[in-house]
Amino acid sequence: MLDNELYGSRQSAYRKHFSTETALVRVQNDILRAVDQRSDVVLVLLDLSAAFDTVDHQILLRRLRDRYGVHGKALAWCTSYLCNRQQSVVIGDSVSATHFMNSLLVDGR
């Protein structure tokens, strides 16, 4: 992520010297500043954890791009997250065979 400059300037998760607390303080500060300036505030929280496991990744990436206007680093991050993923199941000391997830690039765009 660092090597390919895929982190946004406000990305807090999974970065050295950043935390969930850092992100929450930043969001709270932005909301309070907007309220002080009498601006409208909308906070959208999206949990995509199930979406990555239950929908076709190519369709998901295409919709993010075409329907929701996700481009640039955000789309690159989602594509990177979904491409060449693999999983296995661990129960106690037993580990299943590795299974590669079906995720594809979106039309090279």
Nearest alpha-carbon partner for 104 in 46, 66, 55: 55
Whole-number pLDDT of residue 109: 39
Whole-number pLDDT of residue 104: 44
52 and 40 in a single domain? The answer is: no
* Structural domain that includes position 99: 46-109
Q: Mark the ranges of the chain whose per-residue pLDDT is less than 50.
A: 103-109
33 and 70 in a single domain? The answer is: no
Count of domains in the chain? 2
71 and 35 in a single domain? The answer is: no
Rounded CA-CA distance 88/83 in Å is 16
Whole-number pLDDT of residue 45: 78
pTM of the model: 0.40
76 and 57 in a single domain? The answer is: yes
| Structural tokens at position 80 | 């990177």
